[in-house]
Amino acid sequence: MTTTRPRRSKTAAPAAAASPWAPSSVREQQREAKRNAVLSTAAQLFNEKGFHATSLDDIAARLHVTKPTLYYYVKNKEEILIECVRRGLEMMHSGIEASRQAGGSAVEQLMACMRTYTRIVTMDFGMCVIRIADDELPPSSRKALRRLKSGIDMEFRRLVAAGVEEGAIAPCDPKMTAFLIAGALGWIGRWYQPGGELGPEEIADQFIATLCQGILQSPAVPAAPARKRPAAPRPRPAGKRPARKQP
């Protein structure tokens, strides 16, 4: 596929007779935009109704086209599924890569990656990564998608290990800590619904603060009086936790 637009020049030769068809490069762009619309709509429907309950007719209906029209852009429902998951994983990859390239200490990069990951699992393609189980993917594409997933896991492990080495992260098994982070943040893609009480940024704030600082209260903070209602949610940004008193 090429995305080069036809060059226009004031000194060009006289224009050819006008054709009712757009130039092939433009048609190719239009085809790509339509394929993207098919995939985005499919991802939305998979997340709303589940992969098995979504038919090509549902996708066509939401796009106001007929099912045969879809076949010009995609081969079948399986191809759509693979593409949705692949795009979600590639968004995660490039998001993590960008977070890393922004630089900073390992723990700063880790937090940026956690934020990126949270944002992507609340988006249509990212949600597909979380909601669609490995065994729902066609065996032919499973290996390639697993490799992408494993690359993301390895990046988290690497940053955790580097954070331990820098002394900012408590000694741990980086594999376990990476799994813990992936589970806590990935699960957001299961329960998140657009338009809910909290937006992706607020959820990321709360989750990152709790993952970094832990759920337990610092002993320095006095216990709340009994029978009082639980305090209002208050994200605790990393490093701003009240100092722990010496015993």
Could you tell me the smallest distance in angstroms from the CB atom of residue 5 to a copy of itself? 43
Could you tell me the smallest distance in angstroms from the CB atom of residue 113 to a copy of itself? 13
Torsion over CA: 32, 34, 38, 43 (sign): positive
**13 versus 226: smaller Cβ distance to a copy of itself:** 226
Give the residue from 78, 181, 187 showing the smallest Cα distance to 129. 187
**35 versus 236: smaller Cβ distance to a copy of itself:** 236
Q: Does position 246 bind a copy of itself by CB under 8 A?
A: yes
Per CB under 8 A, the list member of 82, 131, 145, 155 interacting with a copy of itself is 131
Q: Does position 84 bind a copy of itself by CB under 8 A?
A: no
Instruction: For the segment 187-206, give every residue that binds a copy of itself (CB under 8 A).
Output: 187-188, 190-191, 198, 203, 206
Could you tell me the smallest distance in angstroms from the CB atom of residue 92 to a copy of itself? 16
Element (H, E) at 76: none
3-class secondary structure, 178: helix
Instruction: For the segment 153-182, give every residue that binds a copy of itself (CB under 8 A).
Output: 160-161, 163-174, 176-177, 179-182
Check residue 57 and give left, alpha or beta (phi > 0: left; psi -120 to 50: alpha).
alpha
Give the interface segment with a copy of itself, choosing from 2-10, 15-23, 94-102, 132-140 (CB under 8 A): 132-140
Q: Does position 75 bind a copy of itself by CB under 8 A?
A: no
Per CB under 8 A, the list member of 94, 98, 221, 237 interacting with a copy of itself is 221
Question: Are 209 and 236 spatial neighbours (Cβ–Cβ below 8 Å)?
Answer: yes
**23 versus 167: smaller Cβ distance to a copy of itself:** 167
How many residues does this entry show for the chain?
A: 247
Cβ partners under 8 Å of residue 75, min gap 6: none
Cβ partners under 8 Å of residue 163, min gap 6: 105, 106, 107, 110, 169
**Residue 175, Cβ density class (10 Å: 0-12 exposed, 13-18 middle, ≥19 buried):** middle
Instruction: For the segment 89-108, give every residue that binds a copy of itself (CB under 8 A).
Output: 107
Instruction: For the segment 16-35, give every residue that binds a copy of itself (CB under 8 A).
Output: none
